Structure 1
Amino acid sequence: MAAIAEPYRIKMVEPITLTTRAQREEAIRAAGYNTFLLRSDDVYIDLLTDSGTSAMSDRQWSALMLGDEAYAGARSFDHLVAAVRDNYGFPYVCPTHQGRGAEHLISKILIRPGQHVPGNMYFTTTRLHQELAGGTFHDVIIDEAHDPGSLHPFKGNIDIGKLEALVAKVGAENIAYVNVAVTVNMAGGQPVSMENLRAVREVCDRHGIILWSDATRLAENAWFIKHREPGYADRSSASIAREMLSHVDGLTMSGKKDCLVNIGGFLAMRDERILLKARELVVVYEGMPTYGGLAGRDLDAMAVGLHEALDDDYLTHRIGQVAYLGERLSAAGVPIVRPTGGHAVFLDAAAFLDHLSQDELPAQSLAAEIYLDSGVRAMERGIVSAGRDDQGRNRHPKLELVRLTIPRRVYTNSHMDVVADSVIRVHERRRDIGGLEFVYESPTLRFFTSRFAPIAPDVDGSMAGLERGGRDTAALAALA
């Protein structure tokens, strides 16, 4: 495959600095071996998340200067509504400060205590909001999604049999809504096929169930349909995205991903009754219905970014860069989730550190070890992210992953080479890497703020060889 150059020119740069091994040892100890708690200044290449970390375009920066900061009725809101209508086909929009604000609102609107919410694999904040509203999440994704080595082209698909079985078991009236994510983050950024969306729509229509979408990475999913699903090769990603959304009743969007902005999100829907309820709640939790916790300039930048994210040249480079990193790692024998997704390469930490049990937190340990090696910051997506069930027991997800998340329009493939070289080095000495244990555990969304310490015997040259840290009980009490 020929090299694909960035479909843009660089106008502005931000310096980054590589720290020494000794500096990184000190930093990871201070962060309690949690990459979320590292200071940005201590990070060389930051692959923690693609949320709010994109580089904005010249048109987006121009839009910032034109933002209407009126408290009510700002024209910036009108610009966002028009962009959503033109690209996504929804007439009604309610902005929120970010995607989880939208998740909060729709959970309170659609879920009655005791109801059930089937979806194609959980996402951390989505499931939490569903549970806080009194709902129970059910994973109805196809089995291939839980197999890192499966080459199924649409591992994000909902298993229609599982969905029908759940409806038969609990009754359609007890299904709050079906939530389909495009793409599926926790499965490795895996897409959903158009055929599957149509099938899920048919089930929902037959049973009178609302079909909602977490459309945070919609553009990437549309690109995969274009390149993997028969009948779409000659279609633009923009037109495919519009067709995808024609099958759903509404969506939550984190503008920090596919809208290419640093903050923002929204709900979009066809039913004016849901809009009215959202407007009632957004005033309580976010802000006026026309700004939803955002400045007018944020709304304008999001409107421009929504258009740009559906450009095929941009998407070809974006997804090609993810594939480039994945191919380098796979060629070196590093176990990854295959096929590579749209926003990240996911390391199979369970296979990478197969000498550790899942309760020894292999993904958390691997993310910390990669940082120690090179200053590259990744994040855990395994048992720590899965949290505890309502009985206080650790959930044990089938996938134990480390996510190397590539910000949009930020890094070049030279940066990807640095990342690949580091992960390969760590893989070569993987037997020296020990596990971690909690020394402070946050009661909710624990992957953000929990702290850890090594539990393995000291081994020179790896994280296990560092002095145990983070056990200052006074500091832990203050965190709690």
Structure 2
Amino acid sequence: MSAPGSSEPKEPPAQVRHPAEPWRIKSVEPLRLTSPEERAAALATAGYNVGLLPAELVYIDLYTDSGTSAMSDRQWAAVMLGDESYAGSRSYYRFEAAVRDHYGYEEVIPTHQGRAAESILSRCLIRPGHHIPGNMYFTTTREHQELNGGTFHDVIVDEAHDPAADLPFKGNVDLTKLQQLIDKVGAEQIPYVSLAATVNMAGGQPISLANLAEVRELTRRHGIPVILDAARAVENAWFIKQREPGWSGRTVAEILRKICELTDGATMSAKKDSFVNIGGWLAVRDPRLAEQARNLVVVYEGLHTYGGMAGRDLEAVAQGIEESVQEDSIRTRVEQVAYLADRIAGAGVPIVRPVGGHAVCLNATGFLPYVPREQFPAQTLTCALYLDAGIRSTERGAVSAGRDPVTGENRYPPLELVRLTIPRRAYTQGHMDVVADSVIRLYERREELCSGVEFTHEPSTLRFFQSRFRPLSADPLFGPVAGGQAPQVLPDPAEIT
């Protein structure tokens, strides 16, 4: 130890593995870790679809970050201020002001959640024969587009379909693809360009402001609106601040406004960035479109000043919007996801790179190389994670992609992922370590799982929510399967292409 007044250099502080959260816990919800036997029985009863499990039988729930975040004390306080007047409540005007101030759209229409906003927008703008380009599909968005007679076209950069391509903005639009679609079908057949910030199905990949500006210029020349999926636009703003030259000195709030300035409207699931358990909105600049949308909201959601939300929900959303752009809040959010990714990737587990802001996505085809695509490796891996440690994750591969509406054949997207989606402010670093340990443990045993699952029940719409499956063999991770095949003899991994 140096003597007082000594000029000897001091020891540098130890590297912090994970920075402390900018909040402390005031209320807790007990969790119970079930036994392997309980989990095996529960999963079989749920038809090997973790989405059909009772939540009380899930230990760490990473199924979604939608509506599962922890609200702050100020949000709960705002709930008590809710004005439940049917028309023109005080809470609506606070909500409207928050959206206008932080996102910049003048016409603000509340809906009960994001997919309701998607439905209203699609009913307003899409007609049979229309074509909607976007930077990769999302399940509910494409479903609404197709139900109204439209056809979705993926115009994202090719690298977004490669889980190993480590580029800073894999959510960017390929301008050549977009121009080619316009030339082919005609601008009059494109009601709008659908842009996600960030791109969920690619693992939470952001779009750059430079690319968004180029899209805006191209669409302006052709008179095509741009509609933003703003559910995780705050996370996108954070990545712009970290990765895009010229923006490091700007606040997340300023970057969020700039993103929105380059678009004509947005759909929003406030259950993501805004921390609430329910709520959403549709916002546009065109007063005529807003009037059309309000008329439909009255039919399907409720009066245009509550849109399916109680006054207390409107208050919670307004407060959540303000909290979402706080620098410490979004930094902690993204760094928790990065911590989990680093632990998993450090053990050699194949994941999507770069890591997004809301989830770590496991590359299921690389994780389970012996499970054929037609046996749904991502769905299989979600089951294995639950059986191993009671962790619920989400399949984002062929099951989520559904069937081609024309041919009826399964769609097999390039990305076959298992999404470990982190609710905001809900789990600790200890929970992340439990998840990482389970993923690594399964990866070390991956050769024991050489076959997947098949459908026993398949809904026609958004099948991943309510489908049921059965395992195709008695692999050690699944246990005995009545009527199943014997485990397959594994080929040499070098022979697998």
TM-score (norm 2): 0.93
Measured in 2, the distance between the counterparts of 1:273 and 1:35 equals 43
Instruction: Select which of 201, 216, 222 maps to 1:186.
Output: 201
- Looking at structure 2, the residues matched to 259 and 246 of structure 1 have their Cα atoms a distance apart, in angstroms, of 20
**Which of 55, 78, 102 is the matching residue for 2:70?**
55
> Could you report, residue by residue, the CA deviation over 1:159-203 in whole angstroms, capped at 9, with x for unpaired residues?
101000000000011111001100000000000000011000001
Counterpart check, 1:410 vs 2:426: yes
1:265-320 CA distance string (max 9 Å, x none): 10011111111001100011111000011101001100110111111101111000
Task: Compute the displacement of 1:423 (Å).
Answer: 0.5
Question: Aligned partners of 1:70, 1:429: CA distance in 2, in Å?
Answer: 57
1:435 alignment partner in structure 2? 452
Secondary structure at the residue paired with 2:362? strand
Aligned equivalents of 1:371, 1:309: Cα separation in 2: 31
The alpha-carbon deviation at position 133 of structure 1 amounts to 0.9
Where does residue 241 of structure 1 map in the other structure? 256
Instruction: State the partner residue of 1:396.
Output: 412
C-alpha distance after superposition, 1:345-368 (max 9, x if no partner): 000001101111111010000000
Instruction: Name the counterpart of 1:125.
Output: 140
| Matching residue's letter, 1:429 | R
- CA displacement at 1:251 relative to structure 2: 0.1
Alignment of 1:167-206 (within 5 A): 167-206=182-221
Q: Distance in 2 between matches of 1:56 and 1:336?
A: 30
Equivalent residue runs for 1:332-343 within 5 Å: 332-343=347-358
Secondary structure of 2:227's counterpart equals strand
In 1, the alpha carbon distance for the partners of 2:392 and 2:360 equals 13
Q: Percent identity?
A: 60
Question: Does residue 310 of the first structure (1) align with residue 307 of the second (2)?
Answer: no
Alpha-carbon distance in 2 for matches of 1:350, 1:425: 17
Aligned residue for 1:463, secondary structure, equals coil
SS at match of 1:186: helix
Tell whether 2:154 aligns with 1:135. no
Matches within 5 A, 1:37-116: 37-116=52-131
Asked if the contact 1:454/1:464 (under 8 Å) is kept, the reply is no
Q: TM-score, normalised by structure 1?
A: 0.96
Distance 1:377 1:132 in 2: 30
Letter in 1 for 2:328: D
Q: Residue type matched to 2:418 in 1?
A: V
**Separation in 2, partners of 1:125, 1:467:** 35
CA displacement 1:244-266 (0-9 Å, x = unmatched): 10000000000110111000110
Alignment of 1:442-453 (within 5 A): 442-453=459-470
Contact 1:83 1:307 in 2 (8 A): yes
The 3-state SS of whatever aligns with 2:200 is coil
Q: Which 4+ runs in 1 deviate beyond 4 A?
A: 466-469
Is 1:420 equivalent to 2:425 in the alignment?
no
1:382 maps onto 2:397 in alignment: yes
| Other structure's SS at 1:421 match | helix
Provide the rounded CA distance (Å) in 1 between the counterparts of 2:382 and 2:274: 27
Q: Give the structure 2 partner of residue 473 of structure 1.
A: none
Q: Which residue of 1 aligns with 2:19?
A: 4
Rounded to whole Å, the distance in 1 between the matches of 2:32 and 2:481 is 23
C-alpha separation between the residues in 2 aligned to 1:422 and 1:439?
Answer: 28
Give secondary structure in 2 for the equivalent of 1:234: coil
Counterpart residue type for residue 431 of structure 1: E
Partners in 1 of 2:378 and 2:342 — Cα distance?
21
The alignment partner of 2:424 has SS state of coil
Deviations 1:330-386 (A, max 9, x none): 000100001110100000001101111111010000000000000011010000000
**Contact conserved, 2:205 with 2:356, CA < 8 A, in 1?**
yes
The yes-or-no answer on 1:163 pairing with 2:181 is: no
**Superposition map of 1:228-307 within 5 A:** 228-307=243-322
8 Å contact 1:183–1:221 — kept in the other structure?
A: yes
Q: Aligned pair count?
A: 467
Contact 1:102 1:265 in 2 (8 A): yes
Alpha-carbon separation, structure 1, partners of 2:86 and 2:483: 51
**Which secondary structure does the structure 2 equivalent of 1:340 belong to?**
coil
- Which consecutive residues of structure 1, in runs of 5 or more, have no partner in the other structure? 470-480
